[in-house]
Structures are given as structure tokens and as C-alpha cells.
Amino acid sequence: MDRKEVLTMKMDAYVDYAVEQLKALTAIPSPSGFARQAGKYVFEELTRLGYEPKITQKGGVLVDLGGPDDSEGLLLMSHVDTLGAVVASIKENGRLKLSPLGGLQPDNTNTENCTIYTRFDGSYSGTFQLCDASVHVNDDYATQKRDFSHMELVLDEDVKEPEQVLALGILPGDVVCFDPRTVVTASGYIKSRFLDDKLSVAIVLALAKYLREEKVVPARKVYAHVTVYEEIGHGGCGTVPDGVTQLLAVDMGCVGEGLTCTERQVSICAKSSAGPSDYEMTTDLIRAAKAAGADWAVDVYPHYGSDADAALRAGWDVRHGLIGPGVYASHGYERSHVDGVKNTLLLLAEYLGVTTA
């Protein structure tokens, strides 16, 4: 077998590890502003792998993955925060009006089970529904708008007025987390809410495991920052270590009409809604994908921002790029594939210069 075939086979174990980490991460509720437990999990897993991560003031995780201190640094950026909602108000009928955290779309969370986390009195389950959701009763069911003004959270409690809801300890501002419904099919498809970006956090953890177990050191200094406010736009604004000259957002790759990427590939973003990625860095990423034998695509994302974009807006003088496994139905019930995980790992290993085949 040639080098590419050996490397591809070697990555299988790390793909399996990434999938297991994804399952663990999606089981931890973590909308923007409510992601410290997910950050703690990443911290503990990196510690278990033999690293010395640090928790940032925001609750993200920063870790040194190795490489010479006197080299130009690369910062990998992924985010563990997700879409979600908060209680906006308690309605007269005892149901809850919601306000989104990030780009949560109410129409594709219709009938989704969720959990309300109170600040002091535990949690409660419920379902996010269209107002007057019974087809046999509501004459306007088919044409009624699916937006936050026409939808409500129905608590699984016997409440019919605001006072009863308040007695449970539920208040405006309490966080609402939607069930992820994570499934991995026999054919390798990964279906879940919040693959954006917990799948790539799992991939970064797999990369960290690969570096340790294969006993390889990057040719340049490499850090990883798992952020917790990406979905609302400021996850990557701070915590860029000294000496870093490149930021690589490891996020989801877009899959949809007009784009070439599929769920089984690694996507390289040439331009997002914020503007073009660094030209030379993008060229090097394409070159690395080819050298690794990865199945890749390069695309322009029409509606997308990343932690790298946030860092640039904050004024950091760095070059930037964006990659990720292909993800379909973004910000909804998303789908990727284990091949997309493998191809992203292959690209990262080649780009970092840590292939061991």
C-alpha cells in the first residue's frame, strides 16, 4: 500500500473515537451562554489525553497541541455552543413564548421536545408547538405562520396560568435546550442537531488523540480553541495566543444547492458571507487535501460566519481559513457522514505536517 492508503486506514480508529465524542457532546445541553458544562467536558477529555488545557474567562477551552515555541503559530478554532432559546415571557394560558439564541429557526423546531433549565429550581420538559396545534380543531393550521409569534412551548406540567408557571420556578431568561436526537446509521450517516459544531469539536479531540498516540509533533506551534459564543458572533474575538499568525476555523462545511460539497467530503471555504478566506492559506489547504488523498471540495458559502471572521473583526492581524466536514440541513436536523470526519482528519494531519504513514 502507498502512503495515502496507510494513512487512511490508520485514521479509522480516530474516526470511531470522534463519533463517540460527538455522542457525548450532543448529550450535553450547551446553547450560547449556557455552554460551560460542555467546555468542562472538553477540558477533562483533553486532560485525560495528556494535555494541559485552560478554561478561558468566557468558558471556552484553549490548549497547546505542541510544536516549537519559536515558530509561527496556528490556532484551530471550533465551537461547542449551539442554537437554543430562552423564555421570553409567560403567556396567559401558562405556555411560554421563546426568544432564540443564535439562528434558531422556529419552523424546523416545530414539535421538537425540549428542556427548560431554571436558575434555582431544576428542569422541566416540554414541546415547542404551533399555537392551537390540533389539526382537527385549527382551521388555519396549514397556513398559519411558523414563527416565534405563532408558536409556544407547552410544558409537561398541569399549568394553565402564569402564576402556576412561576410557582415552578420558571422565569424569563431561563434557557431552553432542544433534544439533539443523535443517530449514527449502519451506512455511516450521522444525523443530529448541533453537528454545527460539535462534530468538528469531536474531530479536534480526535486530532489531539492522534498526536499523542502516534507520538508526532507539529512542525509549527499549534493551539486549539474550543469557543462557547460562536453562534452569537463573538466566540473567536479573543484568546489568540502570542505568536499565532494563522487561524483555521474547523467548523461545518456547507452542503446545499449550488455548492459541490457532500456529507462525505471535507469542505474548504474560499469565501464566506464575511469575505474571502486568505488566498495562500486556502491554496495550501487544497494542496494538503490532495496530498493526503482526502475527498474534498472547495465552495463559496452564501450565509455563513465563523470564529475566524469574529477574530478578524476584533482586529487580530492574522491570516484565516475555514474547513469542515460536509453538513446538510444546517441549523436544522443536520446530517453528515463518517467519511466526512475521516477526510477532515486527513486534511488536518497533512496541513499540520503530522502524517505518520
Query: What is 3-82+194-352's CATH number, 3.30.930.10, 1.10.3720.10, 3.30.56.10, 3.40.630.10?
Result: 3.40.630.10
Predicted confidence (pLDDT) per residue in 294-328, tens digit: 999 999 999 999 999 999 999 999 999 999 999 99
Across-strand partners of 271? Answer: 276, 300
3-state SS, one letter per residue, for 136-149: CCCCCCCCCCCCCC
CATH architecture observed for domain 84-178: Beta Barrel (2.40)
> Residue 7 — pLDDT band, cuts 50, 70, 90?
confident
**pLDDT at position 172, please?**
98
**pLDDT at position 208, please?**
98
**pLDDT at position 249, please?**
98
Does the structure show a pLDDT above 60 at 135? yes
Spell out the domain ranges in the chain: 3-82+194-352, 84-178
3-state SS, one letter per residue, for 243-310: CEEEEEEECCEEECCCCCCCCCCEEEEEEECCEECCHHHHHHHHHHHHHHCCCEEEEECCCCCCHHHH
**pLDDT at position 210, please?**
97
- Calculate the alpha carbon distances from 328 to 64, 324, 336 in Å: 31, 12, 7
**pLDDT at position 8, please?**
77
**pLDDT at position 5, please?**
73
> Residue 283 — pLDDT band, cuts 50, 70, 90?
very high
Q: Residue 227 corresponds to which cell in the numbers above? A: 469557543
3-class SS of residue 101: strand
Distance between CA atoms of residues 219 and 221, nearest Å = 7
Q: What is the CA radius of gyration of the chain?
A: 21
* Mean pLDDT to the nearest integer, 268-295: 97
Does the structure show a pLDDT above 70 at 357? no
* Mean pLDDT to the nearest integer, 221-244: 96
* Mean pLDDT to the nearest integer, 126-149: 95
Q: How many residues does the chain have?
A: 357
Distance between CA atoms of residues 126 and 288, nearest Å = 47
**pLDDT at position 243, please?**
96
> Residue 1 — pLDDT band, cuts 50, 70, 90?
low
* Mean pLDDT to the nearest integer, 15-23: 98
**pLDDT at position 182, please?**
98
Does the structure show a pLDDT above 70 at 77? yes
Distance between CA atoms of residues 247 and 249, nearest Å = 6
Q: Which residues contact 277 (CB under 8 A, 6 or more apart)?
A: 269, 270, 271, 308, 320, 321, 322
- 195-213 vs 36-48: helix crossing angle, rounded to 10: 20
Q: What is the mean pLDDT of the chain?
A: 96
> Taking Cα atoms as reference points, which of 73, 62, 65 lies closest to residue 243?
73
Does the structure show a pLDDT above 90 at 104? yes
Give the residue numbers annotated as catalytic, written as ranges. 230
Predicted confidence (pLDDT) per residue in 232-242, tens digit: 999 999 899 99
